[in-house]
């Protein structure tokens, strides 16, 4: 996973966690939060965190796929006269393959966070 994706995900998660904390602190009034409200608020915050992360990973996967397709198209456009030994074409194809592998990893992370959302929501339903 790239640093920029990880950094963006962490910023989103920190922001959501801060909002949840402020909401909980503001609702407290006398400093005591009823247990059922606290559990629901935490579960909602966790679900929102996973939704944000899932969307971020999905967007990154789509961007990586577009970049990979662009590189594949460039590789096909390189003629034998420009690259008689095929080094440039191979490099472009290798870069596209690497981007596709990263996109698959982003899709796996998206699916994992989507499953976590369902898990958190499922645990929250019986209350």
Express each pLDDT in 18-56 by its tens digit: 444 444 444 444 444 444 434 444 556 778 888 888 999
pLDDT of residue 39: 47
The pTM assigned to this predicted structure is 0.61
| In the chain, domain spans | 3-124
Is the per-residue pLDDT at 106 higher than 90?
yes
pLDDT of residue 93: 97
Mean of pLDDT values over 59-70 = 97
Please provide the size of the chain in residues: 127
Is the per-residue pLDDT at 16 higher than 70?
no
């Amino acid at each position: 996973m790239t640093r920029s994706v990880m950094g963006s995900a962490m910023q989103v998660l920190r922001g959501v966690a801060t909002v949840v904390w402020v909401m909980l602190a503001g609702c407290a009034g006398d400093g005591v939060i009823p247990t059922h409200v606290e559990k629901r608020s935490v579960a909602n915050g966790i679900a929102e965190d996973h939704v944000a992360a899932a969307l971020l990973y999905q967007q990154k996967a789509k961007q990586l796929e577009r970049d990979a397709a662009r590189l594949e198209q460039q590789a096909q456009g390189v003629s034998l006269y420009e690259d008689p030994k095929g080094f440039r074409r191979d490099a472009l194809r290798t870069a596209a393959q690497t981007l596709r592998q990263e996109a698959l990893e982003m899709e796996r992370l998206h699916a994992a966070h989507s499953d976590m959302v369902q898990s958190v929501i499922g645990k929250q339903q019986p209350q």
